[in-house]
Structure 1
Amino acid sequence: MTLDDAALAQKILKLRAKRLASPRAESEPAPAGQAALCVRIGAEIYAIALDVLTEVMPLKQTSPVPGQSRHLLGVTNVRGEIRPVVNLHDMLGLPDPAPDAPMSVIFIRGPGREVGLRVDEVLRIRLFDPDQMTLPHQAGNGLPQRFIAGITADTVILLDSHQILALDALRPRRPDYSCVT
């Protein structure tokens, strides 16, 4: 390295140090609203909040669970972990898709578990303004209101993940031995 190269390197380092030490400019405020992943289920567009979302993947196969509710599609193996998959079509009163139709599963996190939700297509992430949403009891759209957190003016339906996770079909069942003698 020559003397000129060393002087240039020193000058660049001083400029960089000065820039890094200077106060940051005011950044634009983050857009208000709730971020959610939009998906298609049947002919409707639904959304699930990103704060409960853990994973999205193609749904290859599920194994049925005998004696379970029809809301539970079955279970799937994700890297050696068995996870339940909810049949949103059935839960929302929509017709089931064709058996050979491509499906995806979005996993949401609940207390101590992850649950999959079968969807037809993953679309995009979008911000929702809660103040601009219609509440389910005001909509009168025929959907099971328990699972709906709100509906936008362009009819995207925000699902209530807490109500989905509270489904009876997802509660662990213990055998009842009380009648055994």
Structure 2
Amino acid sequence: MHDNTGNKDQFVVFQLGSEEYGVNISQAKEIIKPKNITNVPNTPEHVLGVINLRGQIVPVVDMKKRFSIELEDNEETDSSRIITVEVNDALIGIKVDGVNEVVWLDQDKLEPAPEVAGGVRQEYLIGIGKIEDRLLVLVDLNKILFEDTDEIKN
């Protein structure tokens, strides 16, 4: 999680509803607009389907459904994006409401994860990052994408 030049980490900041989340930039590969998601039968509810990304089939996970965030307005907007991430040598797309920015965070601006942050339990978080007056929920993609869904729900 650390870069070799000091005590800073870089994160891609994305939006889910009114909350901001972050993933380590070393896991993020690219950010694309959602397009042509093909439904796959008998997959978990949070799996939207697959996309063809330059000849590679990439599963797409709806992060709102994965986090059991209320879906008051889950329609795709112009700001919706898919962030392709590499986790456990697998390329996976995560659908988010928008990508806000890329930030550097000093290690001293990172706090341990509280019991619950934004409806997500502590074991699925790396921690909380402080950016001026904002809090950024830093997620553990390995646990979120590869552990049983029932354990995530509150």
User: What TM-score do the two structures reach when normalised by structure 1?
Assistant: 0.68
Gaps of 5+ in 2: 150-154
Which residue of the other structure, out of 90, 93, 103, is the alignment partner of 1:113?
A: 90
Question: What is the CA distance between 1:112 and its match in structure 2?
Answer: 3.2
Check if 1:157 corresponds to 2:137: yes
Question: What is the CA distance between 1:126 and its match in structure 2?
Answer: 0.5
Q: For residue 59 of structure 2, what is the aligned residue in structure 1?
A: 84
Check if 1:166 corresponds to 2:142: no
Question: What is the CA distance between 1:58 and its match in structure 2?
Answer: 0.7
**Cα distance in 2 for residues equivalent to 1:124 and 1:100:** 19
**Would the aligned equivalents of 2:38 and 2:50 in 1 still touch at CA under 8 Å?**
yes
Higher relative contact order (CA 8 A, sep 6+): 2
**Cα distance in 2 for residues equivalent to 1:64 and 1:167:** 21
Gaps of 5+ in 1: 1-28, 170-181
Alignment of 1:35-54 (within 5 A): 35-54=10-29
Count residues in correspondence.
Answer: 140
CA RMSD of the aligned region, Å? 2.2
Q: Secondary structure at the match of 2:77?
A: coil
**Cα distance in 2 for residues equivalent to 1:151 and 1:114:** 25
User: What TM-score do the two structures reach when normalised by structure 2?
Assistant: 0.79
Q: For residue 100 of structure 2, what is the aligned residue in structure 1?
A: 123
Q: Report the AA paired with residue 112 of structure 1.
A: D
Question: What is the CA distance between 1:147 and its match in structure 2?
Answer: 2.2
Alignment of 1:1-181 (within 5 A): 30=5, 32-96=7-71, 97-102=73-78, 103-136=80-113, 138-141=114-117, 142-153=119-130, 154-168=134-148
Relative to structure 1, the CA distance from residue 89 to residue 140 in structure 2 (aligned partners, 3 Å threshold; closer, same or farther) is closer
**Cα distance in 2 for residues equivalent to 1:129 and 1:143:** 23
**Would the aligned equivalents of 2:12 and 2:101 in 1 still touch at CA under 8 Å?**
yes
Greater fraction strand = 2
**Would the aligned equivalents of 2:63 and 2:95 in 1 still touch at CA under 8 Å?**
yes
Identity of aligned residues (%): 24
Q: Secondary structure at the match of 2:70?
A: coil
Greater fraction helix = 1
